Structure 1
Amino acid sequence: MTSAPIWQWSAVDTAEAIRAGRASAVEVASAHIERLHAANPALNAVVVDLSDLALRAAEAADRKQASGAALDLLHGVPVTIKINIDVEGQANSNGVVAFADNIAPGDSAVAGNLRAAGAIILGLTNTPEFSFRGFTDNPLHGLTLNPWDKAITCGGSSGGAAASVAAGIGTIAHGNDIGGSLRAPANWNGVATIKPTQGRIPAYNPSAPVERPPMAQLMSCQGALAREVADVRLALEVMCRRDIRDPWWVPAPLLPAGTAGPVKVAVAKVPPDMDPDAEVVVMVGEAARHLADAGYEILDVDIPDIAAPWKLWADLLVTEIATLQEAQIRDVASPDFIRTLDGMMRMATVLGAEAYMKAIALRSRVLREWLVFLETCPLIVAPVSVVRTPGVNADLDGDDAMGKFLGHDTRFTTALSVLGLPVAVAPVGLVGGHPVGVQLIASRYREDICLDAAAAIEARVGVMAKQLWAREAG
């Protein structure tokens, strides 16, 4: 067991220490609450403080342990929940002033799975309005800052989740992703994550008045962010447990770590129209070298085209918003959000009924091309963003800012969202003092390949948050 402060322990080490009696759940919760109150005021990452409830839950966890009852995987482990899913008795506001009193009548599938596994919920983390921006700011809870540098974005929409766990508030942060909302914040806060295969983790909110549009259901997924890859793997194991309320959930077994023989890897080449920052491209090459050192076989091959899936993602998402959600959004959204919504509308085509159906059909062809490629080359390394970390609220910098951010800077991220493939993010290093990571893409239900590669990179790079804490300690 490490001699570091309790709040710096990994989720794996925390669970082991509590099970072994080396620390009580109350001691662990108290250490994380102290860290929350010390670090969060400068970040505004946790916007609903559940410290009192967390301490009561920790006391109950210690009583359960003393009784000799069987303990689940996350017994006593502190976590945070993104404020856009239901936690019973709390408001699922989704960053929208009009939803400030949307009290959840029960737990969402993910919150229920975490609680059932023994996790202690410390608080709810911030998200942009409607969780539809890549920058975490809203008129209800305000702006969340990046713990590495307050001049750069923490990303979105799981920006509060990534900033909190990087800062040492909780060991695991829940988030979700429909266009990079797990992966971009992980990249810019120096933490690890996985966007799992669509259907891997159940999703359901008892407070939801209506179902989401069809492609939003197929593109959105729940997931975890953590400082260490082993913690992401542990969280995935808990989060993916069955919940009958999600008809898309698939009972696919989680495959263990380790793959026989060297895994073939393709390194994505950046299309010439994307005009990348050279330092970011260097980091993608560094990730490939780390994998080569770990025994992976790096191939010089072209990955499938990302332009077609990006166009599908943009057109399908925007069409569903325009058809079913835009009027309600405009009635309650802030002027800043309306500007970003207008930018999304400009970057895509709102499809008619026939074109919408043809686009959904085309998705199967594009996904088939990726699956065929991944059958012989099981792993792809790609950037999250091809440029350095943008500033706070950079999507408000002109009429074309939203289209540039989603269609140029993070195209590799948004394009993959339409395919439902598993994608991990692993930190690789610092560019200008700011974290940069890579995406690790595998075939359906092969999260093990993604996470194995992320762990191989982490073994050579180290845990990025420790550099952040060393900087803080001075």
Structure 2
Amino acid sequence: MSSDITCFSTAREMAAAVAARRISARELLELHLERIDAVNGDVNALVSIDPDRARAAADEADARTMSGAPLGPLHGLPYAVKDTHEVADWRTTFGSVLFADHRPAHDELVVQRVREAGAVIVAKSNVPEFAAGSHTFNRIFGTTLNPWDASRSAGGSSGGSAAALASGMVPLADGSDMGGSLRNPASFCNVVGMRPSFGRVPQLPNPNIFETTSVQGPMARNVEDLALLLSVLAGPVAGNPAGHETPGESFARVDQVELAGMRFALSVDLDGAFEVDRQVAEIVTAQGAVLESLGASVESAAPDLREAEDTFRTLRAWHFQASYGELLAAHEGEFKASLADNIRVGEDLTGRDVARAYRQRTALAQRMVRFFETYDALVLPVSQVPPFPADQEYPADINGQEQATYLDWMRSAYFVTVTGCPAISVPAGFTAEGWPVGLQIVVRPNDERRLLAIARAFEAATRVGENRPTLG
């Protein structure tokens, strides 16, 4: 077979080439395995790589192609699963030494869905310990480095996924997002990451399906490929009362929309709610002119999210204590200090504290609904900083203002989390040093189709996401 497919072809181009038999799934896999061999040592994005198992899956995909049977939307595409998502009999560590040799008995739902769609799983993507923090490092696999500058962070907690995509090691990868874990690494690595509305991507098994701060979602190098993956991950499932009935396939095609007549609210810091690096602020502000060139009306405006700080930190601590409190008590020396401290904060919470956080979250969500009666979308920074030094756990300061904890610099992402709105990170520009900066676009709850359409229009106008790092 002969093909013009490369490791930086789009996922849709790759899938079409496999379906048309212009390239086999095995040939496509080998192309990506060669790329992994060439560049993964530079960035440490993929872990628990299993070429033999991937080759067997690719051969099965080719047999299906030749049989004439129906092909799934991801048929033959190499794929990376975040190392917090369980894959049957595949080393899944959650970034913790306590699970260094863990091999789950079953695939979790998102993994089942990508398999059924025909994806060929190649590896897990690196994560911070229990996905806590937006910088990807752990004691098992080490630190994931930024493909644009190996001295810088790739973000997190889906940093391995973002770095692998940017490096051309896989065309699609998944992640999860509580405080920005799909959005921050996308911004740092010049790829696209979406935090869907709660329930859009069902999470099963799940000990608390009504816990609404953490969601799973897609990452890709462009908006249309991200929509393709969302169409597989999303959709109803039996036994999930917290889900949506909208079929996942409805997201496969991204609508072409004119931004003319739309109203955008642009805010760099949500009316002074947090500090933003000067270069990031300049790049985000400049995108207002891009939107206006597309016919949109852009106003300086921001929703009132004054309760977001307390709401997010309370619910995060409560969630972490419920998830890892007993484990910490039994293995106190095996947790990184920042995560252990966060869990201990949860131990001191009362029912009154949690009730207050949920009341505040309700107020935030209702206020956002009213805000979107006036505006079609809110645009703001994804991250308050560009990629920071990889040898730091988190940025020490922003414009000289100290960042006291590993969460402080993520407010531009986690303030959006507690509104319940879907948000996407789209490449927007580069700092003077050549570090990527993304734009965060937010729309009303459950309106992912509009979000994808707006993001695609912005992406087409800027084409920043077409830039590639120099590796290999």
User: What TM-score do you get using the length of structure 2 for normalisation?
Assistant: 0.90
> Is the Cα–Cα contact under 8 Å of residues 429 and 464 in structure 2 kept in the other structure?
no
Q: Distance in 1 between matches of 2:50 and 2:146?
A: 22
Q: Provide the residue aligned with 1:389 in structure 2.
A: 387
3-state DSSP class of the match of 2:231? Answer: helix
Report 1:446-457 matches (<5 A): 446-457=447-458
Alignment of 1:236 with 2:236, yes or no, is no
Q: Offset of 1:396 from its aligned partner?
A: 6.0
Q: Distance in 1 between matches of 2:227 and 2:366?
A: 27
> Is the Cα–Cα contact under 8 Å of residues 382 and 438 in structure 2 kept in the other structure?
yes
Deviations 1:402-422 (A, max 9, x none): 745523x22110111122211
Instruction: Give aligned pairs, total.
Output: 461
| Shift in alpha-carbon separation, 1:331–1:349, aligned structure 2, 3 A | closer
Q: Distance in 2 between matches of 1:76 and 1:324?
A: 36
2:159 maps to a residue whose letter is G
Q: Provide the residue aligned with 1:308 in structure 2.
A: 307
Q: Provide the residue aligned with 1:73 in structure 2.
A: 73
Q: Distance in 2 between matches of 1:24 and 1:174?
A: 23
Q: Provide the residue aligned with 1:145 in structure 2.
A: 145
3-state DSSP class of the match of 2:169? Answer: coil
Unaligned runs of 5+ in 2: none
3-state DSSP class of the match of 1:173? Answer: strand
CA RMSD of aligned residues (A): 2.6
Report 1:353-368 matches (<5 A): 353-368=351-366
Q: Offset of 1:296 from its aligned partner?
A: 2.2
Q: Provide the residue aligned with 1:249 in structure 2.
A: 243
Q: Distance in 2 between matches of 1:324 and 1:55?
A: 36
3-state DSSP class of the match of 1:121? Answer: strand
2:327 maps to a residue whose letter is Q
1:310 maps to a residue whose letter is E
Alignment of 1:375 with 2:357, yes or no, is no
3-state DSSP class of the match of 2:246? Answer: coil
3-state DSSP class of the match of 1:361? Answer: helix
Unaligned runs of 5+ in 1: none
Greater share of helix residues, 1 or 2?
A: 1
Q: Distance in 2 between matches of 1:366 and 1:415?
A: 10
Alignment of 1:419 with 2:413, yes or no, is no
Percent identity between matched residues is 30
Alignment of 1:110 with 2:110, yes or no, is yes
Alignment of 1:459 with 2:457, yes or no, is no
Deviations 1:79-136 (A, max 9, x none): 1100101111113210111112332111111111111111111110110111112111
Deviations 1:154-211 (A, max 9, x none): 1111111111111001100111111111011001011011111110011124xx7xx1
> Is the Cα–Cα contact under 8 Å of residues 163 and 189 in structure 2 kept in the other structure?
yes
Higher mean C-alpha deviation, range 136-145 or range 316-325 = 316-325
Q: Distance in 1 between matches of 2:430 and 2:388?
A: 14
Q: Provide the residue aligned with 1:219 in structure 2.
A: 213
> Is the Cα–Cα contact under 8 Å of residues 388 and 395 in structure 2 kept in the other structure?
no
| Shift in alpha-carbon separation, 1:213–1:319, aligned structure 2, 3 A | farther
> Is the Cα–Cα contact under 8 Å of residues 15 and 76 in structure 1 kept in the other structure?
yes
Deviations 1:418-467 (A, max 9, x none): 22211010011111210001110011121122222222222133253633
> Is the Cα–Cα contact under 8 Å of residues 338 and 406 in structure 2 kept in the other structure?
no
> Is the Cα–Cα contact under 8 Å of residues 395 and 402 in structure 1 kept in the other structure?
no
Q: Offset of 1:336 from its aligned partner?
A: 7.0
